[in-house]
Structure 1
Amino acid sequence: MLITKKIQYILYKLHNILLSYSGGLDSSVLLYDLVQLRKKYPSITIRAIHINHNLNYISKTWINKCFLTCKKLHVDFIYKNIFIYKKSNIEEEARIKRYKILNNLIKADEYLVTAHHLDDQCETILLALKRGSGLKGLSGIAEQNNIKKMKIFRPLLYISKKKILWYALQHNITWIDDPSNIDNRYDRNFLRNIILPQINIRWPFFRKTIIRSAKICQEQETLLNEFLNPILNNLIQENKSIFFIPLKFYSVYKRYAILRKWLEYNKCHMVTYKTLSLIWNEVICAQKLTSKIIIHKKIICKNNTYLFCLNYIPTLQKIILFWYDIKHALILPYKLGTLCIVKKDITNSIVVRYPYENENIYVKFYDNQKIYFCQNNFKKININHIWNKLSIPIYKRNQIPLLFYNNCLIADLENNLITIHGKVMPNNQSLYITWIKIE
């Protein structure tokens, strides 16, 4: 077998495997080795998933070839289609859609196994250098990691492409040649087909040394996390904002390192030094409360002494969502989640009075007009006054669903605020509303 005994034992311990199977050389060799391993350990289960990117007119024939190979090897086969509509950054768009499918299909007790190899690692690190990445980017591909709830293992990561090819020829393994692999318009192909062969001729030891550098970067990144995490944990709030005042007393390098870690915590990755400088100078140090910058579909803004990283959502001002049948969930726009009626009070549910027969139920969002919150003494207060006390940033406010009966505000569903008109009285039935958010 091509994979070492150590890797064989790790795969045996994983037990249930979902192989990302393109039908190309690397994944075909890995499939062959996994089947050989299953002969040794019959308790191992293998499923193979083929994702057709529909970037080549013959790609549909590859599905059939992959299916027949899996059938011959008694491996369960799944295939899915994705379509790329962007004309630029195709590789990144394909990766996002691919992982979305994998994340939805993988079972709780399965590990995703991919055929990334040593040459892939070198390409990834060189691409990170091109982007001006820091330690995390230069750490390259990890042998094991998690993406969301998906556990990933890469058993071929320290094996060269040349060795994989030689092994395939020795064992008469057939594979699909994708013509797009010779298209040097793609950055990875340019490195693979033109740059790396020249480097390896000049410096045959290059792959080993670049892996050593990646390992050092991984260690440095781990060490940096050990120093920064305690500080970060003290600054991050429950709503994922960060208390930024202490950052003013740190060096620029320490300050930016903490900001970068905080952005990663908010799922905003690969932020440049220039962007960190903009966040500091044009948001944190700005006099205007409405100062903001938008990066990677995220809004970075502040409120008082807190910095927020919010999902960017186009204006919702003119949207009114009528909830005609409360037996069914109300789907909110722009992946804000759904509103559901539950039978009893549960965690994170809000309790309001049941609507009267002549009342229309609808949800709308803050639209910069004066919306008044009616207190127990029927005194009206502008809802902005309440949100200011709760330190809710301006750009968060237009994402808060507000529940209305006819033209009367009943509740702020984000902050569990209920007006006197929505309060449950002794002669009223209760309505339990839960907002299920999409993480």
Structure 2
Amino acid sequence: MLIKTEIQLMLCKFKKILLAYSGGIDSTVLLYNLVKLREKYPILLRTIHINHNLHILSNNWSKICRLQCQKWNVLFIKKNIKITQKNNIEKYARIKRYKIFENIIKNDEILVTAHNLNDQCETFLLALKRGSGPKGLSGISKISILNNIKLFRPFLEITRNQIFKYAIEKKISWIEDPSNKDIRYDRNFLRNIILPKIINRWPFFNYSVNRSSIICQEQEKLLVDLMNPILMKLIQKNNSLFITPLYKFSTIKRNFIIRRWIEYNKYYYMPSRRMLFIIWNEIICCKNNNNPQIKIGKYIIRKYKNYLFCIKYFNNLKNILLTWDNLNVPFILPNKLGKLVTLDTNINYKDKFINIRKPNYHESVYIKFNITGKYYFNELKCKKNINDIWKNLLIPKWKREQIPLLFYNNEFIAELENNLVTKEGKISSNNKNNFFIFWEKKY
């Protein structure tokens, strides 16, 4: 077998394996080895094939992969994705793939990929091109955890040439994707133009790069072990970062903490040194009330009081008016905020609920966001400005903009995040005229 004995034993310990199977030479040879390993050890093997729909032959390739799995008696799972972006295709494809893996993989299963030593070298050089530090230069790990998925790469110390020779020897057929020759992509440029010349002059270059990656991994792990106790004291329950102590830290220490905090918030791509400079000088050190922010991909970094927040970017819902025509049907909120459900009782319901009066027959039900004004809330004797209440509850401005507000005609009835009921929404003495609204934030 191409897989070394110690790697075989590691695979056997996992017992349940999900292979990311593209049909290319690397994953096909790995599948062949796993099938042979299954003959010796009691492992459960499945494959997941992602059709990216980027090539006219992609559907045919999916069929070939399915037939190969049937031939070797392996469970085959196929999923389709569509990539609309014209730039950074590899990046978005990877993100979508791992979202599918996260939904497919079982709790006691490990995801196995066919990354090899050449992939490691390419990844290292691409990180070097970007000017990455130890974390980026760490490259690909043999075992890692991403989005709660345990990843294992048994081919990481095997060269692409070794895989090719093995495939020829065992008469294994595979799919050749012509896009792998397109040198417009940086990785393909390295793979087809640069690295062959380097390896021709220095045959052990791949192995040297792998050793450097391992050293960087060890250094990064040491930094994390030393800094994590400090970081975890600064991260709050809502995942914000308490920034007051950062003013006393060195620039190096401060940047490391901010990077790790952004990573903690499950943002996949780390900010550049320039972005870290902007986060510190224009957001954290900002003295005015302009509420500065910086957008990184689909996330926004912004400050509220002495805390830094990393939040997903959402469309502004100000001046949005939504009609809830049928209260017996759940109301789907925009921006993936969840849904609203009405019931006559709150029994056995885990989500937050609010008890209000039912609308009269002549009253239409609306949902608004981000209003202003003074109202009578929860038996208060005088009107209170809703923004003052939110401020007292320490709710940042951007979160206020995502809180659904219930209206009957033009009357403000309730704020559904903090159970704020107005005088107009007060429950009646007749219980039959009251009901509960639940805000399901995940569905």
- Normalised to the residue count of structure 2, the TM-score between the two structures is 0.92
Does residue 387 (structure 1) correspond to residue 386 (structure 2)? The answer is no
Spell out the pairing of 1:180-329 with structure 2 (5 A cutoff). 180-268=179-267, 269-289=269-289, 290-329=291-330
Does residue 36 (structure 1) correspond to residue 36 (structure 2)? The answer is yes
- Of the structure 1 ranges 175-184 and 266-275, higher mean CA displacement relative to structure 2 is found in 266-275
User: Residue 373 of structure 1 contacts residue 383 of structure 1 at CA under 8 Å; is this kept in 2?
Assistant: no
Deviation, structure 1 residue 291: 1.6
Residue 6 of structure 2 aligns with which residue?
6
Paired AA for residue 168 in structure 1: A
Task: Note closer, same or farther for the CA distance 1:10–1:240 as it changes in structure 2 (3 Å cut).
Answer: same
CA distance, structure 2, for counterparts of residue 192 and residue 340 of structure 1: 54
Residue 438 of structure 2 aligns with which residue?
433
Paired AA for residue 32 in structure 1: Y
**Residues 259-287 of structure 1: CA distance to partner in whole angstroms, max 9, x if unpaired?**
11111122233111111110111111112
- Of the structure 1 ranges 355-364 and 139-148, higher mean CA displacement relative to structure 2 is found in 355-364
Deviation, structure 1 residue 49: 1.9
Deviation, structure 1 residue 232: 1.6
Deviation, structure 1 residue 329: 2.6
User: Residue 116 of structure 1 contacts residue 156 of structure 1 at CA under 8 Å; is this kept in 2?
Assistant: yes
CA distance, structure 2, for counterparts of residue 323 and residue 305 of structure 1: 38
CA distance, structure 2, for counterparts of residue 437 and residue 100 of structure 1: 17
SS state at 2:389 partner = helix
- Of the structure 1 ranges 422-431 and 17-26, higher mean CA displacement relative to structure 2 is found in 422-431
CA distance, structure 1, for counterparts of residue 206 and residue 240 of structure 2: 41
Percent identity at matched positions? 52
- Of the structure 1 ranges 407-416 and 119-128, higher mean CA displacement relative to structure 2 is found in 407-416
Task: Note closer, same or farther for the CA distance 1:372–1:190 as it changes in structure 2 (3 Å cut).
Answer: farther
Task: Note closer, same or farther for the CA distance 1:226–1:436 as it changes in structure 2 (3 Å cut).
Answer: same
Paired AA for residue 250 in structure 1: F
Paired AA for residue 128 in structure 2: L
CA RMSD of aligned residues (A): 2.1
User: Residue 407 of structure 2 contacts residue 413 of structure 2 at CA under 8 Å; is this kept in 1?
Assistant: yes
CA distance, structure 1, for counterparts of residue 220 and residue 417 of structure 2: 36
Spell out the pairing of 1:313-392 with structure 2 (5 A cutoff). 313-341=314-342, 343-344=346-347, 346-358=349-361, 359-367=363-371, 369-370=372-373, 372=375, 374-392=377-395
Deviation, structure 1 residue 354: 4.3
- Of the structure 1 ranges 388-397 and 177-186, higher mean CA displacement relative to structure 2 is found in 388-397
SS state at 2:322 partner = strand
Paired AA for residue 297 in structure 2: H
**Residues 312-363 of structure 1: CA distance to partner in whole angstroms, max 9, x if unpaired?**
1121113223233344332221222233346426444122224234343332
CA distance, structure 2, for counterparts of residue 133 and residue 339 of structure 1: 45
SS state at 2:311 partner = strand
Q: For structure 2, which runs of at least 5 residues remain unmatched after alignment?
A: none
Deviation, structure 1 residue 420: 4.4
CA distance, structure 2, for counterparts of residue 410 and residue 117 of structure 1: 61
Residue 46 of structure 1 aligns with which residue?
45
- Normalised to the residue count of structure 1, the TM-score between the two structures is 0.93
Paired AA for residue 274 in structure 1: R
Residue 99 of structure 2 aligns with which residue?
100
Task: Note closer, same or farther for the CA distance 1:409–1:236 as it changes in structure 2 (3 Å cut).
Answer: farther
Deviation, structure 1 residue 119: 0.7
Paired AA for residue 306 in structure 1: Y
**Residues 170-224 of structure 1: CA distance to partner in whole angstroms, max 9, x if unpaired?**
1111111111111100111001111111111222222122111111111111111
CA distance, structure 1, for counterparts of residue 297 and residue 376 of structure 2: 35
Does residue 25 (structure 1) correspond to residue 25 (structure 2)? The answer is yes
Paired AA for residue 312 in structure 2: N
Task: Note closer, same or farther for the CA distance 1:398–1:156 as it changes in structure 2 (3 Å cut).
Answer: same
Deviation, structure 1 residue 52: 1.6
Paired AA for residue 243 in structure 1: F
User: Residue 378 of structure 2 contacts residue 420 of structure 2 at CA under 8 Å; is this kept in 1?
Assistant: no
Residue 401 of structure 1 aligns with which residue?
404
Paired AA for residue 39 in structure 2: K
User: Residue 29 of structure 1 contacts residue 173 of structure 1 at CA under 8 Å; is this kept in 2?
Assistant: yes
Deviation, structure 1 residue 424: 4.7
Paired AA for residue 9 in structure 2: Y
User: Residue 341 of structure 1 contacts residue 431 of structure 1 at CA under 8 Å; is this kept in 2?
Assistant: yes
Residues matched between the structures, number? 436
Task: Note closer, same or farther for the CA distance 1:270–1:437 as it changes in structure 2 (3 Å cut).
Answer: same
Deviation, structure 1 residue 425: 5.7
Task: Note closer, same or farther for the CA distance 1:144–1:415 as it changes in structure 2 (3 Å cut).
Answer: farther
User: Residue 22 of structure 1 contacts residue 50 of structure 1 at CA under 8 Å; is this kept in 2?
Assistant: yes
